[in-house]
Structure formats: structure tokens, C-alpha cells
Amino acid sequence: MRRLLLAIVPIFSLALIFALALPVTSQAGTVQATNLACSDGSSVILSLDTANLTSLISSVAAINANGLDLSCSLSPVDSLTLASDTAHGKHDFGVGGVTFFASSCFQGTVSFSGHSDAEQPTVGVQGTIDETLNGTCVGHYKASIYCVLVEANTVDMIGNVQGTATGIFSGDQAIELTAEDSGSNAPEFFNTNPVLPGTPCTARQDHTVLALTGNITVHDSAVT
């Protein structure tokens, strides 16, 4: 999805940086190695093809445009640094920044970035879900992600709420986010639900809230 209400310059600048970076060649073809770092302290080296990298650039720009507590950045990684990563860039992840309108109550903004080691939903997990409502209902929370399960183009991630959530979220101790990456120029969907702390990721398929603006990127290392 590319319906981003963003300035062109920041996205172009990121694209130019990666265009100038030397590609890394593997048996699967030419890929770009990049480091995704966010304001929550999370950081991961990713090895992505052009389509996935382009989508990720848009998703990071959407997170930053949302203006929530979570912000992220991307930077090129050389082949030696990629080789030093024990997973060699093979991580599952879901990254997105969207706005939504589900009803007069449920309208707002969500930013999220979460990753895990390839095919291991509870290993090497880092990330945050950050959501705010601005309709007739109000509320805000940040959740520290503890599991990330990716299957093809869908992600299921769960995080424990950090500190005290406000407004409509004040009774929630953990939040589950499900999201679908529908690809370029296609509608994308997500959902967030309160769950009990310790609830495992199970690839729920209830991502039914339409993203009005923004972008979602889901990467399954077993597929690409």
C-alpha cells in the first residue's frame, strides 16, 4: 500500500542512500542489507530484496509521520557486518504506521515494529506497538513486544503494556496486533485486541480494520 500522506523528500533521501549502497549477493540473488533501529532501543540487521526494502522504507516513513512515541530509521549495512549477524539477516518482522477509522469511537493511529529470529516467534524478539485514539473515545498505550509470528504476508505480535495506559486502554495489560501486508497499491488491514499477559502468538486472522493511510510491511524469512 502506498497511500502515504508524507513529504516526498524524506522517502527519496532514504531511497537514494540505499541506491548508493553496494548490494550483497547471495544464492537467492541480489539483496540489500539494512539496519532497522527504533527509538525503543530495538535494532536488527535485515537482508531484503528490492520490493521488501522499498516497502520497509515506506513503512518507516509512515511510522515517523504518525508522530507517536515510536520512531525508526534505516541505514545501509556492508557485507562484513551482515556476515557478523548470527542469523545473516534472516529475521521475521512486521513494521507499519497507519491511520484508521472503524467507528466514531475507534479512530486513531497505530505504529509498530517487531521482529524475531527466523521461524522462532519468541527468540530474539524486540519491538513496540504504539496506539492512540482520537475519536469520541480517547486513549493511548505502548506495549513491549514479546512474540512475533509471521506466516506469509500476515503477522501476529503481542506486547505487554508499558507503564500505565490511558483512556479506553487503561484496563488492558497486554495488546495483540495482527496485520496483513497486501502489497503495493492494495488495501491493507490490521487489528488490535486486549489479551491476557503471556498469551502466545497464534496467527489470528481477524485483521479487519482498514488502514486509511500509511504502509504495512510483513516479511517471512521462510518465503523470501
Q: Name the E strands within the chain.
A: 24-26, 29-38, 43-48, 72-76, 91-101, 107-117, 126-134, 138-151, 154-161, 166-167, 174-180, 189-195, 209-219
Q: Which of 45, 63, 89 is the last residue of a domain?
A: 89
Residues 127 and 111 in one domain: yes
Angle formed by the axes of helices 50-66 and 8-20, nearest 10°? 140
Same domain, 98 and 82: no
Q: Of 64, 89, 114, which residue is a domain's last?
A: 89
Q: Are residues 48 and 30 in the same domain?
A: yes
Q: In the listed set 66, 89, 112, which residue is the last one of a domain according to the structure?
A: 89
Q: Around Cβ 212, how many Cβ atoms within 10 Å?
A: 15
Angle made by CA atoms 174, 175, 179, in degrees to the nearest 5: 155
Identify the domain containing residue 215 by its residue range: 93-219
Same domain, 120 and 133: yes
> Between β-strands 189-195 and 209-219, what pairing exists: parallel, antiparallel or unpaired?
antiparallel
Tens-binned pLDDT, residue by residue, of the chain (224 aa): 433 333 333 443 454 344 434 344 444 446 789 999 999 999 999 999 999 999 999 999 999 999 999 999 999 999 889 888 888 899 999 999 999 998 888 899 999 999 999 999 999 999 999 999 998 899 999 999 999 999 999 999 999 999 889 998 888 899 999 999 998 889 999 999 999 999 999 988 888 999 999 999 999 998 76
151 plus 181 within the same structural domain: yes
Q: Do 113 and 144 belong to one domain?
A: yes
In a shared domain, residues 151 and 192: yes
3 is a domain residue: no
Based on the domain organization, do 46 and 131 belong to the same domain? no
pLDDT of amino acid 14: 52
- The number of distinct structural domains making up the chain is 2
**Under 8 Å between Cβ of 171 and 193:** no
Q: Are residues 60 and 131 in the same domain?
A: no
